[in-house]
């Protein structure tokens, strides 16, 4: 099936990034969020990102205008009725996701595909609450979406081959390299990344080295663009804590368990860059 119109549910950091790369690939996008202030914030984020690309000479003004012209915003789910693909990137919590999918199932045309950008929740648990589990898959993008080259395409036990193939081709169309994954918690990247980040926090907690030395160790010793504590601040301490809890609940293995330091920092509101404070201070 040709994907010519995408409904992007949730216009936060991830959703606006996904909407941007989809529109850049020539596909019409309608971005949905629950309140107009979130829609406007998401559209503003896309505009800013495209303007930065123009400033850097990576995009010309007229192309920017064309990309923006392909994106509209709405707070009305009914406006998504004729979309070929719905990508959902709302709050990382099963209950509101299922509630949204049940509504969408009654609104969006029968042949449309639903894809969740969840980082660790079970895709089939969402898909099974709709009348189209065979047309349900995962499309997991990485932050910042315009920069990171990967998308994980997740096939559940119920996803049809045709749905998976359409999703895979769509991932390539929006300029990403596709990794195919089974519907297993954390898929490929977070299954490996999250225990590494948790171990870095454990090393800090145990006094093995300072935060700067832990980060420099991995940046300079292994060529990572960010050290693990910087990266945890970038992703959000709450997000890492939450994904760790999901992985631990599933696998019951120590390396997925959150260290007490992470829990304390989350409780204190030191959530990383977005909060102005995490392992590092971003208040300036
Ligand atoms: N949107 C668009 N472009 C952006 C951007 C954004 N939000 N942030 C950075 N960029 C671009 C810059 O414009 C710059 O482009 P240029 O090379 O053409 O000039 C390029 O990216 C590099 O940016 P900077 O020079 O400002 O800074 P850095 O060199 O430090 O790179 C970074 C920033 C790309 C974020 C880099 O540090 C990096 O790759 N960090 C690791 C990010 C990562 O691991 N992400 C995955 C997180 S896990 C995840 O998302 C899964 C989830 O489920 C938890």
- pTM of the predicted protein model: 0.96
Residue nearest to atom 28 of ligand 1 (CA): 225
Assign a CATH topology to domain 190-274: 1.10.1040
For residue 149, with 0-12 CB atoms within 10 Å meaning exposed, 13-18 middle and 19 or more buried, which class applies? exposed
Partner residues linked to 32 by β-bridges? 9, 74
Residue nearest to atom 7 of ligand 1 (CA): 144
For residue 50, is pLDDT > 90? yes
Average confidence score pLDDT of the chain: 97
For residue 134, is pLDDT > 90? yes
204-238 burial string, b = 16+ CB within 10 Å, else e? beeeeeebeebbebbbeeeeeeebbbbbbbbbbbb
Task: State the catalytic residue, choosing from 119, 120, 122, 258.
Answer: 119
Ligand 1 pocket check for 190: Cβ under 6 Å: yes
**Model confidence band, residue 284 (pLDDT cutoffs 50, 70, 90):** confident
Share of the chain above pLDDT 90, in %: 99
For residue 1, is pLDDT > 90? no
119 carries an active-site annotation? yes
Q: Out of 1.20.1250.20, 3.40.50.720, 1.50.10.20, 3.40.50.2300, select the CATH number for domain 5-182.
A: 3.40.50.720
To test ligand 1's pocket by mutation, which of 14, 147, 149, 190 has the most ligand atoms within 8 angstroms of CB? 147
Give the pLDDT of residue 94: 94
Task: List pLDDT tens digits, range 216-237.
Answer: 999 999 999 999 999 999 999 9
Give the pLDDT of residue 208: 98
131 carries an active-site annotation? no
Domain boundaries of the chain, sorted by first residue:
5-182, 190-274
Ligand 1 pocket check for 192: Cβ under 6 Å: no
Residue nearest to atom 2 of ligand 1 (CA): 146
One fold for both 5-182 and 190-274?
no
Task: List pLDDT tens digits, range 3-49.
Answer: 999 999 999 999 999 999 999 999 999 999 999 999 999 999 999 99
> Nearest Cα to 238, choosing from 215, 268, 218?
268
- What the block records as the tokens of 264 is 């304390």
For the chain, how many residues are written? 284
For residue 263, is pLDDT > 90? yes
Share of the chain above pLDDT 70, in %: 100
Ligand 1 pocket check for 148: Cβ under 6 Å: yes
CB atoms within 10 A of CB 51: 14
To test ligand 1's pocket by mutation, which of 116, 144, 272 has the most ligand atoms within 8 angstroms of CB? 144
Mean pLDDT of 131-136: 98
For residue 261, is pLDDT > 90? yes
Listed in sequence order, the residues at least 6 apart from 66 whose beta carbon sits closer than 8 Å to its beta carbon are none
Give the pLDDT of residue 213: 98
Ligand 1 pocket check for 49: Cβ under 6 Å: yes
- CA 281 to CA 274: how far, in whole Å? 11
State in Å, rounded, how far the first CA of the chain is from the last one.
Answer: 48
Ligand 1 pocket check for 117: Cβ under 6 Å: no
Ligand 1 pocket check for 119: Cβ under 6 Å: yes
């Amino acid at each position: 099936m040709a994907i010519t119109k995408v409904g992007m549910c949730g216009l936060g950091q991830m959703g606006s990034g996904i909407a941007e790369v989809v529109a850049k690939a020539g596909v019409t996008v309608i971005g949905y969020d629950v309140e107009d202030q979130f829609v406007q914030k998401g559209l503003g984020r896309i505009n800013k990102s495209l303007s930065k690309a123009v400033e850097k000479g990576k995009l010309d003004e007229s192309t920017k205008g064309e990309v923006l012209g392909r994106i509209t915003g709405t707070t009305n789910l009914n406006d998504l009725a004729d979309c070929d693909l719905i990508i959902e990137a709302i709050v990382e919590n099963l209950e509101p996701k299922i509630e949204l999918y049940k509504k969408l199932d009654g609104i969006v045309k029968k042949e449309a595909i639903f894809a969740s950008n969840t980082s660790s929740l079970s895709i089939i648990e969402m898909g099974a609450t709709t009348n189209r589990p065979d047309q349900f898959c995962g499309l997991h993008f990485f932050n910042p979406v315009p920069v990171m080259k990967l998308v994980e395409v997740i096939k559940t036990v119920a996803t049809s081959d045709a749905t998976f193939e359409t999703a895979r081709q769509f991932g390539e169309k929006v300029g990403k390299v596709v990794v195919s994954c089974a519907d297993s918690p954390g898929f490929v990247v977070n299954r490996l990344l999250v225990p590494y980040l948790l171990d870095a926090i454990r090393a800090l907690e145990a006094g093995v080295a300072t935060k700067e030395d832990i980060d420099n160790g991995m940046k300079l010793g292994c060529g990572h663009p960010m050290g693990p504590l910087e990266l945890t601040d970038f992703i959000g301490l709450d997000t890492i804590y939450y994904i760790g809890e999901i992985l631990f609940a599933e696998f019951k293995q120590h390396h997925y368990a959150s260290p007490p330091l992470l829990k304390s920092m989350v409780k204190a509101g030191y959530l990383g860059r977005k909060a102005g404070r995490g392992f590092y201070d971003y208040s300036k």
